[in-house]
Structure 1
Amino acid sequence: MSDRAYEDACLAWRSSLTTLLGDTSLLARWQERRYQFAHRVGALLTEAHADSSVTVGPVLYGVFASGAGLCYVGQTQEAERRLRDLPVGESHHLANTVPPEVWERVVVIRWPLLLSEAPVSEQMEVEAMGSAVCGLALEHMLQVATAPPLNSRRRRTSGEWQPRNLSQSRSRGAIHSQRIPELSRLTLDAWKALSETEVPKGTAVVASKVGRVVYPSTLHEPRHS
């Protein structure tokens, strides 16, 4: 995209928002519409669906946008709360940069369900390091493997962005990720299988035994002619 086309797109975005927020009644309507959509996405990410049980506890998750692809990879120990909040954006920056209305899909991996397939030695490692640290370790592994752009830079106080070399990180997750190579492989395989799942037309959720893929893009109402 040329600089001119980019600036024109930004102008069109601002112009649309100015129209949508034209008075107090339109502001209320916009607030309601956005929250209703985010709430529906959060419900799809967490509630029981067909043969998939309620999503609770530790998970890894990744958000894909149409065009940009995988934007962000994260982890939480409280999926039942964090995944509902993710599209709302009240305690997470992602929705401020990439609104849920343009999310193409969200992949969720319940990594503890893979533990039984890992070697006993790694199961003991996970028990020793604890679920929270293991979640950080798997998050680091997945970020290195996929290089999502919103994880690959950090904000600076100057108002600019600084690249992050994830492979050279000395964070807790990076340090402990070396202790669980087989669990990391199992997790990455599960991630690839779900992230590459072909979605049947009109389907909002596709589940597997260790996670699910949610397609917010299927929730949009058809345009009126």
Structure 2
Amino acid sequence: MSGADHDKAYAAWRDALDVLTAGAAELSEWQSRRFDFAYRFGTLLTAEDGEHGAVHGPALYGIYRAGAGLVYVGQTLKAERRLRDLPVGESHHVATTLPPELWERVVVVQWPRLVADLSDAEREHVRASGDELCGLALEHLVQLRTRPPLNARRRTADGKWRLRHLEASRSRGAVHARTIARLGESVRAAWQELEDLPVTEAGGAVLHTRAGRAVVPPEI
């Protein structure tokens, strides 16, 4: 997109929001409509669904946008809270940049479910490392492999952006990632399965596998 096309699209977005929030009644309707969608979205990400239990505890998650692919990867120790808020955006920055109405798919991998597939020694290593450190390490591995654009740089105090050099990272997650390669491969396979799972296979907005779920916002 050229600079002129970008400016034109930005102006159209501003004009549309101007109409939707033109008065007190319109603003309330806009707020209600957006929260209703976000609430239903967050519920599908976390709630019990038939024979599939509710999502809670440690998890990795990724947000997809049509045309851009995987745009953000994150991890949490409290999926029941973080994922419910993800489309609402009160404590998560992605919804501010990319409205959840435009998300194509959200993948959730409940990685502790994969630990049982490891050898005894590997399971003990994961247990001794703790959920926080393993979650950071798995997040690093997924980001390093997929290069999501919203993880590629960070804001600076002077109002600019700084690129993140994942290969050279000395963060706790990056350092620990080298010690859980087998778990990382299991997560990679589980993630790919959820990414590829077609909507028609499950027939709805929520798709399930043994390791997690994917929510497809256009189907809500």
RMSD value over aligned CA atoms?
Answer: 1.1
Contact 1:122 1:179 in 2 (8 A): no
SS in structure 1 of the partner of residue 200 of structure 2: coil
Instruction: Work out whether residues 51 and 207 of structure 1, in 8 Å CA contact, stay in contact via their aligned partners in 2.
Output: no
| Residue identity (%) | 49
Look up the match of 1:207.
Answer: 208
Q: Report the TM-score, using the length of structure 2 for normalisation.
A: 0.96
How big is the shift at 1:47?
0.8
Structure 2, unmatched stretches of 5+, are: none
Give the CA deviation at 1:158: 2.2
Query: Within 5 A, what are the aligned runs for 1:1-225?
Result: 1-200=1-200, 203-219=204-220
Deviation at 1:10, TM superposition (A): 0.4
Cα shift at 1:50 = 3.1
Name whichever of 159-168 and 172-181 sits farther off: 159-168
Q: Structure 1: 5+ residue runs without aligned partners?
A: 220-225
8 Å contact kept, 1:119–1:182: no
The Cα shift of 1:68 comes to: 1.6
Distance 2:193 2:55 in 1: 18
In the TM superposition, what is the alpha-carbon distance from 1:97 to its structure 2 partner?
Answer: 0.5
Distance in structure 1 (CA, Å) of the matches to 2:66 and 2:28: 28
Distance (Å, rounded) in 1 between the aligned partners of 2:195 and 2:141:
16
Structure 1 position 51, deviation (Å) = 3.1
Partner residue in 2 for 1:222: none
The C-alpha deviation readout for 1:27-77, integer Å capped at 9, x for no partner, is 110110110000011010001123321111110000001222111000001
- Structure 1 distance, partners of 2:51, 2:167, is 37
Q: What code does the residue aligned with 2:177 have? A: S
- Give 1:197 deviation, angstroms: 1.4
SS at match of 1:207: strand
Equivalent pairs counted in the alignment come to: 219
TM-score normalised by L of structure 1? 0.94
CA distance in 1, matches of 2:216, 2:187: 21
